[in-house]
Amino acid sequence: MPFIHAQILAGHSTEQKQALLKNANKAVQESIGAPEASIRITLQEFQPHEVMVAGQEGKAFATIQVHLIEGRTEALKAALIAALSQAASVSLGISQEEIRVMAIDVPKENMGVAGGISAKAAGR
């Protein structure tokens, strides 16, 4: 934990996508102090005809959802949102105006961790 799900417009190079994964991983570590072993990141691409942003089909965008075990402060979540927005902008070469980041708190009893137990049962 945390789980990061990034969605982007298709057409970025392999290098840009790898940079996004690496920069997002680093952003999470540095902004909220998450250990690297706990971070999971997935990337999903959409074709231009599958995307509408501000009424425009196929417009560049990035949407990043971060699921976190509840309990982090508002300041930590703000730092995480800013760091992930910056990571996406730098990696993909798109404006931060086209990036949205959502930090979603998950109750400890609703999050499974290693060993198939809840975060609450694991004492997190």
pLDDT reading at 95 higher than 90: yes
What is the pTM (predicted TM-score) of this model?
0.91
Do 6 and 61 contact (CB within 8 A), yes or no?
Answer: no
Cβ neighbors of 104 (< 8 A, separation 6 or more) are 65, 66, 67, 68
Digit-coded pLDDT (tens) for 42-69: 999 999 999 999 999 999 999 999 999 9
